[in-house]
Amino acid sequence: MSLLKRVAAGDVFLVHNGSRLKDVEILESRFPGIHHLKVKGNKGFAAGANLGLEKAFESHDAAYFFSNDTEVMSLPKSIPTIDLGAATVFRRSTGMIESMGGTLNPWRGTLSHNKNPQEFSRYSYVPGSCFFISKHAWKTLNGFREELGTYWEDVDLTFRALKSGLKIGLVKDLAVKHGIAKTCGNDPLYTVFFYNRNRLKVCMRHSRLSHKISFVFYFGCDILRRSFKYLRTRDWIRFRYIIESIIYGISSSPYPHR
């Protein structure tokens, strides 16, 4: 683990979120000094992250979060003074900067990666692959919304932070390499259903009226375009998920097929 080159083992909390028993046993034997937090079954990204951070804040006033497909390159020498902070993320395959935070286009409900610190704006968010968060911010926000699971949960957390008056930004010297799209791959349950369902939920929750009207138009056009594409190629799985993303995006009911 690249993190153990920079921090003490006792300060590391590893969440085994639905990991195979054999893999857990291997990691426990290789890294006996860290905290191993075991989750029965895969509870989703948001719930797994909440568990790890909640345990960390029992003994620490601030924490860095790293997803399982990141490699730590550098950590700040002192604790950041902001409440929620983004890392500089390099693409593992090329070594090029992938993001320095991200930004939501509230009119269309689309996301883009910031490439320099000056791009941070009132609509910027802190990506969930790697971030800094203070205990004060965590308690104020009560963690990620677990019903979102995966995708857009980081956008939701950031905009709740901004509404609460918390300070967000880019953390200097916090850098990782990231295996882009390695967590969910091309699984349509994630890339089609969860992405679009959560896009609808988060944008409608955090946007002002003019943005909502514009978003509904662009979102509807995007859904129609994708639906016709899946029908034309007879991709019935993705077609089903795109329709269900609208149904469950509007509804408060939990998705039954996990």
State which of 37-46, 168-177, 180-189 shows the largest mean pLDDT.
168-177
What number is the average pLDDT over the span 7-20? 91
Q: Does domain 2-178 have CATH number 3.90.550.60?
A: yes
50 Cβ neighbours under 8 A, 6+ residues apart = 143, 144, 146
Between CA 86 and CA 95, with CA 90 as vertex, the angle to 5 degrees is 165
Q: Which of 86-95, 162-171, 249-258 has the lowest mean pLDDT?
A: 249-258
Domain ranges for the chain, please list them.
2-178, 188-250
Q: b or e along 218-243 (b: 16 or more beta carbons within 10 Å of the residue's beta carbon)?
A: ebeebbeebeeebeeeebeebbebbe
- Cβ atoms of 62 and 135 within 8 Å: the answer is yes
Burial classification of residue 24, based on how many CB atoms lie within 10 Å of its CB (0-12 exposed, 13-18 middle, 19 or more buried): middle
Between CA 44 and CA 218, with CA 114 as vertex, the angle to 5 degrees is 70
pLDDT band at 188 (very low <50, low <70, confident <90, very high): confident
- Cβ atoms of 13 and 35 within 8 Å: the answer is yes
Cα separation values, 61 from 57, 88, 129, Å: 6, 22, 20
pLDDT band at 102 (very low <50, low <70, confident <90, very high): very high
pLDDT band at 180 (very low <50, low <70, confident <90, very high): low
CA distance 146 to 42: 12
For the chain, what percent of residues have pLDDT higher than 90? 76
Q: Considering only CA atoms, which of 125, 132, 5, 14 is closest in space to residue 79?
A: 132
pLDDT band at 43 (very low <50, low <70, confident <90, very high): confident
Between CA 181 and CA 40, with CA 200 as vertex, the angle to 5 degrees is 55
What number is the average pLDDT over the span 124-143? 96
pLDDT in tens, 24-37: 889 989 999 999 99
pLDDT band at 111 (very low <50, low <70, confident <90, very high): very high
pLDDT band at 44 (very low <50, low <70, confident <90, very high): confident
For the chain, what percent of residues have pLDDT higher than 70? 95
Give the end-to-end CA distance of the chain in Å, rounded to a whole number. Answer: 30
pLDDT in tens, 203-239: 999 999 999 999 999 999 999 999 999 999 999 999 9
pLDDT of residue 211: 96
pLDDT of residue 175: 95
